[in-house]
Every structure is written in C-alpha cells, then in structure tokens.
Amino acid sequence: MELRVDRQTLADAVAWAARTLPARPALPVLAGMLIEVTADGGLALAGFDYEVSARARIEAAVAEPGRVLVPGRLLAEIVRNLPPQPVDISTKGSEVVVRCGPAEFGLLTMPVEDYPTLPEPPARAGTVPGDLFAAAVAQVVPAAGRDDTLPMLTGVRIDIEGDTMWLACTDRYRIAARELTWSPADPGFTAGVVVPARTLADTAKAVRQGAEVAIDLAGTGDTLIGVSGGDRSMTSRLLDEQYINYKARLAGTWSSVAEVETAPFIEAIKRAALVTERGTPIRLAFTADEVRIRAASGDAARANESLSAQLSGDDVDLAFSPQYLLDGLAGIDTERARLECTGPTKAALLTAIPDDEKSDKSDTGYRYLVMPVRLTA
C-alpha cells in the first residue's frame, strides 16, 4: 500500500472513524482502524465496535492499493499533530509508515483477517437537508436520559409518516421534540425507531455544511439504521422501539399563555442561576405585562429581575431547574418564545414564535415540555 493525501482531509476523516473505537475493546482488533485503498484513488477509513460503525471516504493519490489494520486512537493522535504538509502512507513489512514533512512514524499492523465484517446499511429510506437535520437533532438531544439502566431514555425516537419526520427525546422530567419535512424514497413509508442519542448527535455534528443526509432504514422492527452525509457514514444498532406516547403529552389546553423575547429571557435566567445551588430552582412569576425572575441560595445570595412579557389567561408562578429551562430555550432560534401552562404543578410547554408574522404556522415544529419543581412555600 502506498499513497499521498492532504493532511487536513486525512485528519478529519481519521477523527470521524476513530469516534466509534472503544476505550476498552472486547477484542483487541476492535481497537484498530481499518484502512482500505483502491486503485481508483479512493481511501476509506473505518471503525467498528459491534454496535456502531463509522466510515469516511476521501480521495488520495494512490501508487499501490492495499488493506491494513492499525491502532486507531494512536493514528488519530499522530495525524492530528502532523505539520500542514501532504502525508505519505505506505506499508513496509509489518509496519505502516506515516511521513509528513520532517516527521516519520511507524505503526505495527494488526491482523486484518481477524477484523469483523462491517455491517451494510439497510435500504435507502429517504433524504433530508443536512443543516435541517443537524439543527433538529441538536434541539432534542439535551433532553435524552443519561441512565444506561434505562436504554430507551438514552435514545432519540424517530417517527416517520410519509414526508413528515419527528425526532423526540425524554428523560422523564422533560420532552424535546421536533417535527420536520423530509423526502422519503417511498411516499407511504412509515417507521418508528430509537437511535442512541450520543451516536446520532455525533453524526449530525459531523455532517458537512450544505450536504444532504441520507437515512437508511427498513422500517419499524428493523435492528439497524444507516445515516450518511457527504463522504461520511455510520450504522448503529437500534434500541428497543418501545417508547412513551410523547405526542399525546405535547398536546393540551393551556390556561396561561405567555410570550417573551427569547434572548433577554435567556440572559436573565443565566444571571439568576448564578445564585442557585445544585438542585435549587428559579421562579418565574407571569402577570399581564411582565415576568419576574427570582432565585435564592439560602441566606447567602438572591436575584430578582423583571422583563417585559405578554400573558393571556391566569397569572402564574412557576419554578424550574434553570438548566432544564436553558436547554429548552437553546432550541428556540426566533426572536420570541411562547410558554404555555395550566398551573404551578403541571408541565409547561415551550415553543418558538415564527419571526415571519405572515407565516401560517403557529410555531416552528419545535416543542419542549418540562416539569416544574414543586415549591414547599
């Protein structure tokens, strides 16, 4: 094997493939990164841990094709620190030699014949603009659970009906959901699957600007999903498809509806959160034309600030975890936000108000339902 490749292009591709490499592999070969070079100038790098696979394909000047397995994390560290010059990679006996300017490294190869076969993704289900997909995933994953003993809650639920896709996450105390339009290969396609949230978030972040994302999925009951964008792709085993009926929880009749300017509201909450201790909520008191934001840390410190707001319905005094509130507001990219509730002990719904007053939509497809903190006084 012998080739030359641009250093930055290689670094990006190696970093992508290395993200699936396990820190404590069940088998030594799973710590390896597979390098495959074809005579037509294709260089493919892959990592696999039996749950998730990541592949990157780039172009290179190939003198001799080949296929080798090398320690993946070490290769990623080496390439990341190379000088900004073309990189030459070749095999010499049991070594893969990496040269870049004055730097040279030799990596012992691993037994490539022992490396497991990479999974092939299911059939193409459809496509969605990469920027839209990345934004939607970023909006919902903050609400995913972190408790691995409840795998369902650590995933992103993807529901597809025709040209409508829903993404949703919950940790039992909040629900973040986003509805968007995509382009299915089959107009009648339906599916309901749960994808590990961390895997989907990493994939969405890595999609190149302007690239189209392809979703490979056979439908409900499948065990594997494929997501690809540009020269990068991944496959992941799916989690248990059982999930709460989050759509029903997002619908309701609200006795109080408040509207605020998003950016000032976020900044005021951040300021109030400075005086809160772990587990201490902040309070939001909505009246006809303002919201009062209060927080206290025992006798040590307190915060009190008022902002302009418009309230329809009953006055209401709510308490929330500041981080939960900020996570929900981070998903709103419009000038104004809407908060709807039915009292201090019921879940409140955050949505975005479209900037375009002529829009025929009442929101942007993003919904964030969060449980308030019960106050003793």
Residue whose C-alpha is closest to residue 194's, from 141, 230, 129: 141
Most confident of 87-96, 143-152, 272-281: 87-96
Section 62-88 average pLDDT: 96
> Is residue 311 within 8 Å of residue 289, measured between CB atoms?
yes
Q: Are residues 242 and 296 in the same domain?
A: no
221 and 259 assigned to the same domain: no
* 167 shares its domain with 52: no
Q: How confident is the model at residue 268 (pLDDT cuts 50, 70, 90)?
A: very high
Same-domain check for residues 103 and 195:
no
Question: What's the structural domain count of the chain?
Answer: 3
Same domain, 193 and 243: yes
User: Are residues 137 and 190 located together in one domain of the fold?
Assistant: yes
Average pLDDT of span 294-298: 84
**Interval 298-311 mean pLDDT:** 90
Cα distance between residue 349 and residue 372, in whole Å: 11
Residues 81 and 188 in one domain: no
User: Is residue 272 classed as helix, strand or coil in its secondary structure?
Assistant: helix
Looking up tokens 């629900």 gives 175
Asked whether residue 375 is domain-assigned, the answer is no
How many angstroms separate the CA atoms of 132 and 272, rounded?
32
Last residue of a domain, one of 204, 222, 248: 248
Residue 11, Cα to own-chain centre: how many angstroms?
22
Task: Please report, rounded to a whole number, the percentage of residues in the chain having pLDDT higher than 70.
Answer: 97
Sign of CA dihedral 196, 35, 233, 201: positive
> Residue 58 corresponds to which tokens in the numbers above?
């780039």
pLDDT bracket for residue 346 (50, 70, 90): very high
> Among 211, 232, 248, where does a domain finish?
248
Classified as helix, coil or strand, 143 is helix
Output the domain CATH number for residue 312.
Answer: 3.10.150.10
Domain final residue, candidates 200, 217, 248: 248
Residue 184: strand, helix, or coil:
strand
Mapped onto helix, strand or coil, the DSSP state of residue 66 is strand
Residue that is written with structure tokens 């560290």 in the block: 77
On whether residue 195 sits in a domain, the answer given is yes
The alpha carbon dihedral of 34, 37, 42, 43 has a sign of: positive
CB-hemisphere CA count at 13 Å for 178?
A: 22
Judgement on whether residues 230 and 265 belong to the same structural domain of the protein:
no
Do 373 and 317 meet the contact criterion of CB atoms below 8 Å apart?
no
Task: Compute the radius of gyration of the chain from its Cα atoms.
Answer: 25
Each residue of 243-265: pLDDT tens digit? 999 999 998 889 999 999 999 99
Is 119 domain-assigned?
A: no
Verify that 192 and 283 share a domain, yes or no.
no
pTM score, two decimals?
A: 0.90
Answer whether residue 376 is part of any domain: no
Domain that holds residue 349: 252-370
